[in-house]
Homo-oligomer: A and B are copies of this chain.
Amino acid sequence: MDKFTNENNINEQTYKDLDEETLFVVSQSFKALSDPTRIRILHLLFTKEFSVNEIAECLKLRQSTVSHQLRFLKNLRLVKYRREGTTLYYSHDDEHVINMLKQTIEHALHH
């Protein structure tokens, strides 16, 4: 087919699907915010940094549960930490994602 005779191409809509990497990054970002435990952890970190044990205490979660979820969030670079002795203080590290979470919580609270 050439462009002069292919009538079917006139007004043809060619849809450009999302590429695989974008799809992966986007889905992972939202997956991070799709779990109640991770939401609670990130929500706690809205105000200030907390150690792993403090998070566990505040939210009534096992230390290992918190640690596993923090690893998940750290892999996605949604949280970071600083060390002080044996204690690691975690804080949030992605303005875009944190803002989405804040907005959606507000949205949920007022609807």
Interface size class of A (residues with CB under 8 A): 20 to 34
Complex contact B34–A31 (CB within 8 A): yes
Complex contact A27–B17 (CB within 8 A): no
Mask: chain A, 1-16; 1 = CB below 8 Å from B; 0 = not: 0000000000000010
> How many monomers of this protein are in the complex?
2
Task: Determine the chain B residues whose CB is within 8 A of the CB of A44 once the complex forms.
Answer: 15, 17
A83 contacts chain B at the CB level, 8 A cutoff: no
Distance between Cα atoms of A3 and B68 in the complex (Å)? 38
Q: Which residues of A contact B (CB under 8 A)?
A: 15, 17-18, 22-31, 33-36, 39-40, 43-44, 58-59, 96, 100-101, 103-105, 107-109
